[in-house]
Amino acid sequence: MKINLTRRGFLAASASALAAPTVLSFGSAARAEAKAVRVGYIADYFGTSLTAIASDQDLWAKHGLEAELKVFTNGPIQVQALGAGSLDFGYVGPGALWLPASGKAKIVAMNALGLSDRVIAQAGFNSMADLKGKKIGVPEGTSGDMLLRLALAKAGMQLTDVEVVKMDPSTVVSAFASKQIDGAGIWYPLVGVIKKTVPDLVEVAQSADFFPANSFPSAFVTRNEVAAQDPDTVKKMIAVLKDANDFRAADVPRSVEITAKFLGVPAEPLITESNNGKYLTSAELIAATKDGSVAGWLKGLNQQFVAFGKLKDPLDPKDYYLGDLYAG
């Protein structure tokens, strides 16, 4: 199967160890009694850290699971695999959360709030207004796309005020480096990669400019049938994710080391990525679930998905986020 490089596939494509789909199995200590689950991840810090920690700390066996881990390059492919019955749980970034909102999957747990997105410009362009009429490269439907639209609106501009060039992330990197485009809606660690070639690039907008009114959460999802027919397994998966999440929140540098080892990649780009996230403890995520904050994050994304034309009538978050199970 051909898999294109997308938002969270850069490290997977750049690491020879992950050049082909990889399947790993964990949880053998309690294999006889453990529930077998197929879990997807994306080969970068946000998309792998909890999976890597769960494996390193033997959390699968602790909570009665035997995990078969499969690497993917993006969230939509995982949701597609969920629908086909070849995956039980997966990880999706904010740009793919329109799929649960359209009923394609259920969210079992929130992961982190990403602050890694940027609108960047070539030297000499210092604001969004400066980019009027210029070529802006962006991977369509990603959080980079979302940030571009938010930044334009804040500047009193519309998408039609710039020349949007839709391209995949790797093409954004090469096109910006060769000055084929004037700006881009893209994210770290790819911004860091571009800076090595274009050190004088200008960051004209960043996701932190719009936080907390606009948040970019990533999440873990499950197949609709698993949510409906096997809540016990969902609870076990949530328990694994909570333990791994609290490990990460308590020691992000150590979690970077574990993730780099798991992926077989240098730690440097993961460090950069980890510095551009907000990591809540499980207790804080439970509180955010109960007070409606998580629903607010998801509703905010849904408004953007409607504006993008991805969705016409998104579901209410209570219908696709299993918050009662997470907070229980």
b vs e for 242-272, b when ≥16 Cβ sit within 10 Å of the residue's Cβ?
A: bbbbbbbbeebeebbebbbebbebebebbbb
**pLDDT class of 274 with cuts at 50, 70, 90:** very high
Residue 269: predicted pLDDT:
87
Mean pLDDT score of the chain, rounded to an integer?
90
Tell me if residue 210 falls in helix, strand or coil. Answer: helix
Identify the band that residue 1 occupies on the pLDDT scale cut at 50, 70 and 90.
very low
Secondary structure of 92-144 as H, E, C letters: ECHHHCHHHHCCCCEEEEEEEEECCEEEEECCCCCCCHHHCCCEEEECCCCHH
Residue-wise pLDDT for 3-52, tens only, equals 333 444 444 444 333 333 455 655 544 455 899 999 999 999 999 999 99
Helix (H) or strand (E) holding 207: none
Q: What is the mean pLDDT of residues 228-239?
A: 98
For the stretch 143-152, pLDDT in tens is 888 899 999 9
What is the C-alpha separation between 8 and 64, in angstroms, rounded? 29
What percentage of the chain exceeds 70 in pLDDT? 90
pLDDT at 295: 96
Q: Is 23 left (phi over 0), alpha (psi -120 to 50) or beta?
A: beta
Residue 140 and residue 121: Cα distance in Å, rounded? Answer: 18
What predicted TM-score, i.e. pTM, was given to this entire model? 0.83
- The answer to whether the beta carbons of residues 141 and 167 sit under 8 Å apart is no
Cβ–Cβ < 8 Å for 6, 73: yes
Residues 218 and 141: their CA atoms lie apart, in Å, by 14
